[in-house]
């Protein structure tokens, strides 16, 4: 029986026609140099731009296969890995390979049990990556320590425009670090901080950031612990902000007084 080294390219293409794209990427690639060369020219591989492995219970072996594939892949732009509980080593390997990746623009790591330690790996990647524009880290365990790592990275990152951090146990201390970075960051436009533990002090930090930030257009703060005083701090920040178009404060405790503070700013606001 002929080996892979002897089979005509046309026959290998026929075999690939009966294999799904995920298997081609994770199992067929890197078997040998000839097979890599052939798959590089294979239409279904060339058109693989989105890989969705959400809630597939992928383990270390699958993550390593993915990492190996990403080292040479030049087609994937979106990678969805939510709900897999990828372990610390897997996150580190994934972050390392994305440092020099030049095609992936969207990474979703929602609900993977990511804590401060793993966030440090991702932050290091963000400091050096020059392609990623969208990062979903919602429903993890990043906390105040983890957000400090990400805040640090935002001072250097030049491409990330969307970051989702909802449901990550982030409190006022963590928000202070993030707010400081927002005063310097020039690219982030959408920030989701819903379902965290932000109170009036955190709102003050964000209000101060809004006075200086001129790129953020959307800020989600629903389901936090912001009261009327926090709403006042945000209102002060909005008075001098000329870019924010969406601010979500649903399910907080701002009360009528907080609404009045914000309404006064809206009446005077010139952003359309």
Decide if pLDDT at 25 tops 60. Answer: yes
Whether residue 55 sits in one domain with residue 38: no
pLDDT for 185 equals 95
Distances in whole angstroms, Cα of residue 69 to Cα of each of 63, 153, 207: 10, 26, 43
Confidence of residue 272 (pLDDT cuts 50, 70, 90): very low
Counting residues of the chain whose pLDDT is more than 90, the rounded percentage is 74
In the chain, the number of structural domains is: 2
Cross-strand partners of 259: none
- Say what the pTM is: 0.91
Average pLDDT over the chain, rounded to whole? 92
Q: What is the mean pLDDT of residues 198-205?
A: 98
pLDDT for 270 equals 59
Q: What is the mean pLDDT of residues 183-207?
A: 97
Condensed to tens digits (0 to 9), the pLDDT of residues 110-119 reads 999 999 999 9
Q: What is the mean pLDDT of residues 12-38?
A: 78
Whether residue 132 sits in one domain with residue 114: yes
pLDDT for 31 equals 75
Whether residue 129 sits in one domain with residue 33: no
Decide if pLDDT at 268 tops 50. Answer: yes
Whether residue 15 sits in one domain with residue 126: no
Condensed to tens digits (0 to 9), the pLDDT of residues 133-173 reads 999 999 999 999 999 999 999 999 999 999 999 999 999 99
pLDDT for 5 equals 64
pLDDT for 271 equals 53
pLDDT for 4 equals 59
Q: Tell how strand 218-220 and strand 190-192 pair up.
A: parallel
Whether residue 164 sits in one domain with residue 29: no
Its domain, for residue 222, covers 49-268
Whether residue 156 sits in one domain with residue 219: yes
Sheet of 162-164, strand order: 50-52, 78-80, 106-108, 134-136, 162-164, 190-192, 218-220, 246-248
Distances in whole angstroms, Cα of residue 113 to Cα of each of 83, 141, 177, 252, 271: 9, 6, 22, 26, 39
CB distance 53 to 73 below 8 Å: no
Last residue in a domain, options 27, 44, 61: 44
Whether residue 91 sits in one domain with residue 5: no
Decide if pLDDT at 205 tops 90. Answer: yes
Decide if pLDDT at 1 tops 80. Answer: no
> Which CATH number belongs to the domain containing residue 250 in this structure?
3.80.10.10
Whether residue 30 sits in one domain with residue 165: no
Whether residue 253 sits in one domain with residue 187: yes
Whether residue 36 sits in one domain with residue 60: no
Counting residues of the chain whose pLDDT is more than 70, the rounded percentage is 97
Condensed to tens digits (0 to 9), the pLDDT of residues 117-136 reads 999 999 999 999 999 999 99
Whether residue 133 sits in one domain with residue 116: yes
Whether residue 14 sits in one domain with residue 83: no
Q: What is the mean pLDDT of residues 201-215?
A: 97
């Amino acid at each position: 029986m002929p080996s892979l080294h002897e089979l005509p390219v046309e026959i290998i293409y026929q075999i690939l026609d009966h294999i799904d794209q995920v298997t081609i990427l994770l199992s067929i690639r890197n078997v040998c140099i000839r097979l890599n060369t052939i798959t590089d020219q294979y239409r279904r591989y060339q058109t693989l731009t989105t890989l969705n492995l959400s809630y597939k219970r992928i383990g270390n072996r699958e993550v390593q296969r993915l990492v190996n594939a990403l080292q040479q892949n030049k087609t994937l732009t979106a990678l969805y890995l939510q709900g897999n509980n990828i372990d610390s080593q897997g996150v580190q390997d994934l972050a390392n390979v994305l440092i020099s990746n030049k095609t992936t623009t969207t990474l979703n790591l929602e609900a993977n049990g990511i804590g401060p330690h793993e966030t440090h790996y991702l932050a290091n990647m963000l400091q050096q990556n020059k392609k990623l524009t969208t990062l979903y880290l919602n429903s993890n365990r990043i906390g105040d320590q983890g957000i400090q790592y990400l805040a640090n990275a935002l001072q250097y990152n030049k491409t990330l425009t969307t970051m989702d951090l909802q449901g990550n146990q982030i409190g006022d201390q963590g928000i202070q670090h993030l707010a400081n970075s927002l005063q310097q960051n020039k690219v982030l436009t959408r920030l989701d901080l819903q379902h965290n533990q932000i109170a009036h002090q955190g709102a003050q930090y964000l209000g101060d950031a809004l006075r200086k930030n001129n790129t953020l257009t959307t800020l989600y703060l629903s389901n936090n612990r912001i009261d009327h005083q926090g709403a006042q701090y945000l209102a002060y920040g909005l008075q001098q902000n000329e870019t924010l178009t969406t601010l979500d404060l649903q399910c907080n405790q701002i009360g009528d007084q907080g609404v009045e503070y914000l309404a006064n700013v809206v009446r005077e606001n010139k952003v359309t």
